[in-house]
Structures are given as structure tokens and as C-alpha cells.
């Protein structure tokens, strides 16, 4: 539990990875470019005292991740967003199976999201069903800019994609997380464009589309789409670090999102291990709009909004009863090992 201004906040990190970009796993020069670009984002938007070396950044110990999120960091639960990139990495960059190693060990703390790629056809449909059977999927992360052979991307509004979205409906997988953010070398900018969210969200009103990275740098396009589509949400991964070194830009991003979407449709995410929540959560929580910014956007970043964005909205999407989960976390393996149980028991007693 994170304490802020005398109040406790249940934090669900909605966007984490346990990736493998080790040299042994790279099979295409694109894999090397990709992790170097990730590292550029890390060093450019991380306080110097929190920066990692490139070698440890390539492939970190899963137990370090547990410590960074739940022990040294203020996170209570986290959602794995799988990113395969199997043309770049022999065993994949960040697959559901890789993420499941930690999720199986700490099921109270982690949720594993699967994936689909419409270019995989019937084989991909079978794989989605297998992932659902194994993990009881509630969500999928889709990466429209991923290279596959000669193809350098796909769209959410493709007819083939609609077949997979229909399968998600059939299986009860309600949360679709499309990656729509800044370009990552060597992937193509246009494949990250947010425009294809509109038709998909309109055509599947019973699914939730949590647009990761809120379409940056296409924030206006995203906001206007989300304003029309009540099943479109914004994931703050990539946007959140602006609170540290670009506070006026963060005010613009957050102000527009709160104005157009409101506080009920935004989810915090650290994008671990690009950034660590131990410093990122305080930066986001301590951010304040100026009087001029509050007048411009007509919104507040108050305790109620923070409570929703930092945890409650993700809990609603993933059917997490926070009070019940706090009781579970008070005596889970991590709380026992690191003596964390008291923070949950005290809040539950209140």
C-alpha cells in the first residue's frame, strides 16, 4: 500500500514485463535495435540514481522484479502485458509463458495477459484458446507494429482481426490492450497509429479497449476517439514519466485525458522495467496542476481521481475485490518473506 498525504492507496501496475533481450536470445538485428531504443527511453526519462546498466537491463532476474515492484516499490498487484516479437528474439521478448513463471509463483500478485496476431490464422486462434485455458485470460495485449516475415504490421479494424475479437467475446476475454505509443526502432510509425481503435471499439461494444500509451504522440486523435467510444480506456505507461522531467507536458497529457475520458477510464502503468515504480509512483502522485491548468482543463488530480487511476479502475476491469485482495495479500508469500502483511491488515481493520 502506498501512503500519500496521510491516506493509503492500493496500486495496481497495469503494464509490466519480464523480458529477455539477452544477446543469446537475439536472432535479428531488429531485436538489438529494439532493446537499445527501450534503453534510450529508460535513461532519458529516469533520474540518474535510478538508472540501470545496459547489461542488467537486457535480462533481469525475476526476483529483482518482485523486489522492485512489491518490496522496494509501492505496487500491490501487477498486470503482465505480453509482447512476443518472435522474429527478433528466439524465445520471444516477453511471452505469456515467460511471464507465467512469476505469476505461478505469486498468483495473488500477478495477472497474465495473453495475445493474438491475426496473421497467424487458425494456428493463432488455437493458441489463443490454449492461453485462455491455461491462464483463464481476462485480457490480451496486441502489438500491431510487430514484424512477421514480410509483414511489418496489422490493424485492429482488419476483417481477420475482427475474427479474433469475436473469439475473445466467445471466450469471455473482455480486455484488449493495443500498444499505441511512440515509435520503437526499427518498427514502423504508421503501425502504431491509433485510428484503427475507432472501428474496433464501435464494432465490439462489449469489449474494453485499453489503449496503452494513450496514443502518444497522437494524443488528440486518441482523446477524440475515446470521447466517442465509452469502452475505450487509456493506459498511462510512457505518459507517466513526464511527471518527473516534463511536468508541464504531463499536465497537458493528464489534463486532456481527464477532460475527455474522465478519471474512471485511466489506468496507471510503470512499463517496468523501462521505469521503476519506486520513484515513478511518487512522481505521479505528487504532481499538482497549477491554478491556470485547473482553469484550462476544469479537472482535479485529487485523492479520489488518484485512487481510481492508480488501482480501482484496473480492479474494476479485472474483477478484483480490493478489500478481499488486501486480506489475501496480508498473508501471501511475499508479505511473509518481507514482513509486509501489517500494511494490509491495518487498512483492512480501518
pLDDT of residue 349: 56
Q: What's the pLDDT at 264?
A: 98
pLDDT for position 341: 86
Q: What is the Cα–Cα distance from 106 to 48, expressed in whole angstroms?
A: 31
From 3.30.420.40, 1.10.3720.10, 2.40.10.10, 3.20.20.140, which CATH number describes the 2-349 domain?
3.20.20.140
What confidence tens digit (pLDDT) does each residue in 3-52 have?
999 999 999 999 999 999 999 999 999 999 999 999 999 999 999 999 99
**pLDDT for the residue numbered 348:** 53
DSSP string of 261-319, one letter each residue:
T-GGGEE----BTSS-HHHHHHHHHH----HHHHHHH-----HHHHHIIIIIHHHHHTT
Q: Which residue has the cell 523486489?
A: 67
Regions of the chain with pLDDT less than 50: none
Model pLDDT, residue 345: 78
To which H or E segment does residue 211 belong? strand 208-212
pTM of the model: 0.97
pLDDT at 168: 98
Q: What are the start-end ranges of the H helices in the chain?
A: 29-44, 54-58, 62-66, 96-105, 121-135, 159-171, 197-203, 219-228, 242-245, 247-260, 277-286, 291-297, 303-307, 313-317, 322-329, 333-338, 341-349
Q: Do 222 and 189 meet the contact criterion of CB atoms below 8 Å apart?
A: no
Phi, psi of 233 (to 5 degrees): -120, 165
Amino acid at each position: 500500500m502506498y501512503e500519500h498525504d496521510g491516506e493509503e492507496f492500493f496500486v495496481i501496475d497495469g503494464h509490466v514485463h519480464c523480458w529477455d533481450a539477452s544477446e543469446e536470445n537475439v536472432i535479428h538485428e531488429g531485436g538489438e535495435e529494439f532493446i537499445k531504443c527501450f534503453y534510450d527511453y529508460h535513461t532519458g526519462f529516469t533520474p540518474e540514481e535510478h538508472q540501470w546498466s545496459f547489461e542488467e537491463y537486457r535480462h533481469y532476474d525475476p526476483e529483482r522484479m518482485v523486489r522492485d515492484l512489491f518490496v522496494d516499490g509501492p505496487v500491490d498487484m501487477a498486470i503482465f502485458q505480453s509482447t512476443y516479437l518472435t522474429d527478433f528474439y528466439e524465445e520471444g521478448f516477453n511471452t505469456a509463458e515467460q511471464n507465467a513463471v512469476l505469476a505461478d509463483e505469486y498468483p495473488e500478485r500477478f495477472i497474465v495477459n495473453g495475445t493474438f496476431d491475426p496473421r497467424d490464422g487458425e494456428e493463432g486462434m488455437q493458441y489463443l484458446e490454449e492461453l485462455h485455458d491455461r491462464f483463464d485470460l481476462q485480457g490480451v495485449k496486441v502489438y500491431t507494429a510487430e514484424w512477421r516475415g514480410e509483414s511489418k504490421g496489422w490493424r485492429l479494424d482488419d476483417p481477420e482481426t475482427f475474427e479474433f475479437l469475436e473469439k475473445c467475446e466467445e471466450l469471455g476475454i473482455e480486455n484488449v490492450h493495443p500498444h499505441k505509443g511512440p515509435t520503437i526502432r526499427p518498427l514502423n510509425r504508421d503501425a502504431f497509429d491509433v485510428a484503427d481503435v475507432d472501428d474496433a471499439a464501435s464494432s465490439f461494444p462489449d469489449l474494453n479497449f485499453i489503449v496503452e500509451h494513450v496514443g502518444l504522440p497522437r494524443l488528440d486523435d486518441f482523446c477524440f476517439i475515446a470521447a466517442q467510444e465509452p469502452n475505450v480506456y487509456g493506459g498511462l505507461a510512457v505518459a507517466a514519466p513526464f511527471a518527473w522531467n516534463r511536468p508541464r507536458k504531463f499536465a497537458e497529457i493528464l489534463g486532456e485525458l481527464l477532460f475527455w475520458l474522465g478519471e474512471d477510464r485511466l489506468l496507471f502503468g510503470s512499463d517496468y522495467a523501462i521505469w521503476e515504480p519506486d520513484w515513478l509512483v511518487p512522481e505521479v502522485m505528487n504532481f499538482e496542476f497549477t491554478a491556470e491548468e485547473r482553469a484550462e482543463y476544469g479537472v482535479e488530480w485529487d485523492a479520489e481521481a488518484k485512487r481510481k487511476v492508480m488501482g480501482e479502475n484496473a480492479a474494476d476491469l479485472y474483477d478484483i475485490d480490493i478489500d478481499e485482495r488486501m486480506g489475501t495479500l496480508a498473508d501471501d508469500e511475499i508479505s511473509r518473506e518481507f514482513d509486509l502483511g501489517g500494511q494490509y491488515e491495518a487498512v483492512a481493520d480501518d
